[in-house]
Structure 1
Amino acid sequence: MEGLTVADANLTVYVHPSNANKVKDALLRQLSSLLFKYDENFDGVILAYEIKFESKDAKILPGLHPLFGVKLKANLLLFQPKVNELLEGKVVKLGKECIHVIILGFSSATIMSEDIREEFKFRIKHGVEVFASSAHKRHVIKTGSFIRFLVKSLDVDILHVNGSLIPSNTGCIHWLSRYGTEDISETDSCRSLKRPKPIEEQDSQAMVDLSLNSNHHHKSHKRTVTNGMKS
């Protein structure tokens, strides 16, 4: 699935002195507070992270409540969908006018009837509403199906995607992986939807201000970001 990026981040987190004896918990709690929310600094949604302390030394930030900064490195899994990319999700509701999809368990998508290619016909089979292909008898989309679709537009405020099933390389993933058309590459047709591992939240108090610098590596979809985190 497109829209997923791995990033290496250099972070500095400023922690309140009251958390001096539980710094790791403070950092984990602060990073966990950023999960599954769109962040302009990262230009995406953080799905998971893994941190490594860069130094045991801390820099004191003077003030009424002097904070101390801890440097660390983090590997981030980001969800960064773009227009015309292919996403995958599970159909949670289907009707004559639209298909409702959940992506990675937290983001929603809607595919309207005008964005469904003509070969798919809405039918009711054995009391179940489906979109069945008139060109390929076994190609059926129903509630519970995992589908691949194209991104038409994205509302980052509510993490909602408007999708399309017009391209020939979109539809039910199960069918595409077995009987996909010739213009779908073998690698792409075998992609599966993977849910990121849950992150256990930890207790802490930390203050954060983010800034971002990135270098994209096209081949591996891996980039490096630099952030400063403070009050």
Structure 2
Amino acid sequence: MEGLSVADANLVMYLHPSKSRNVSQSILRELGSLLFKFNETFDGVLLAYDVNILDKQAKILSGVHPYFGLRLKANLLLFSPKPDMLLEGKVVKLSQESIHVIVLGFSSAIITAENIRGEFKYRTKDKEELFASKSHKRHVIKVGTMIRFLVKR
């Protein structure tokens, strides 16, 4: 699937002196707090990481709070969909105006009525909502269906 990328990053992590007792755990906790959130620095959502501490000596920063900085090398798995990328997701909700999709189990997307292909018409069959193709009788979109779609924005 498009939108997934692996990046090698050289990072500097700034930690409070109270975290100096267990530095590796503090680094993992800080990186863990970035998981599944959009980050402008990475231009995407951090899904996974593998980190190596480059420095064994930390540099103390002067200022009001004496944080110390550590250089890290990390491999990052990022999810950053761009326009015209092809993604796939599972349909979780349908309405006459939209199709709601979950991508990679955490990110939601909405396909509005003007972006649904003209061959699909909204129907209710046995109290089940679905979009059915006019040209292919067995081609239907309903809750639970995996679909591929193009990112507009």
Paired residues for 1:53-92 under 5 Å: 53-92=53-92
- After superposition, the C-alpha distances for 1:34-75 in whole angstroms (9 at most, x for unaligned) are 222222211111111111122322222233432222121111
The aligned amino acid for 1:80 is S
The aligned amino acid for 1:17 is P
The answer for the alignment partner of 2:106 in structure 1 is: 106
The aligned amino acid for 2:95 is G
Identify the structure with the greater strand proportion: 2
The answer for the alignment partner of 2:115 in structure 1 is: 115
- Size of the aligned set, in residue pairs, is 153
The aligned amino acid for 1:90 is K
Paired residues for 1:5-154 under 5 Å: 5-153=5-153
CA distance in 2, matches of 1:130, 1:150: 20
Runs of 4+ residues over 3 Å off in structure 1: none
Seen in structure 2, the aligned counterparts of structure 1 residues 97 and 63 have a Cα distance that, compared at 3 Å, is: closer
What SS is found at the alignment partner of 2:53? Answer: strand
Q: Which runs of 5+ in 1 are unaligned?
A: 154-231
The answer for the alignment partner of 2:2 in structure 1 is: 2
The answer for the alignment partner of 1:218 in structure 2 is: none
CA distance in 2, matches of 1:79, 1:28: 20
TM-score, with length taken from structure 1: 0.62
CA distance in 2, matches of 1:43, 1:82: 10
Q: Which runs of 5+ in 2 are unaligned?
A: none
The answer for the alignment partner of 1:200 in structure 2 is: none
How far did residue 21 of structure 1 move? 1.4
Identity of aligned residues (%): 64
How far did residue 137 of structure 1 move? 2.4
What SS is found at the alignment partner of 1:22? Answer: helix
More RCO (CA 8 Å, sep 6+): 1
